Amino acid sequence: MSLPVPVVTISLLILSNTFMTFAWYGHLRFREVPLHWVILASWGIAFFEYLLQVPANRIGYGHFSAAQLKTIQEVITLTVFVAFSALYLKESLTWNHALGFGFIALGAFFIFRP
Q: What is the number of alpha carbons within 13 Å of residue 3 lying toward its C-beta? A: 10
For residues 4, 45, 89, 13, the Cα torsion angle rounded to the nearest 10 degrees is -10
Report the pLDDT value the prediction gives residue 80, as an integer from 0 to 100.
95
pTM for the structure as a whole = 0.88
pLDDT digits (tens, 9 = 90+) for 75-114: 999 999 999 999 999 999 899 999 998 998 898 889 888 8
Phi and psi torsions of 48, nearest 5°: -70, -30
pLDDT tens-place string over residues 53-69:
999 999 999 999 999 99
pLDDT reading at 30 higher than 80: yes
Residue 60's pLDDT is what?
A: 97
**pLDDT value, residue 18:** 96
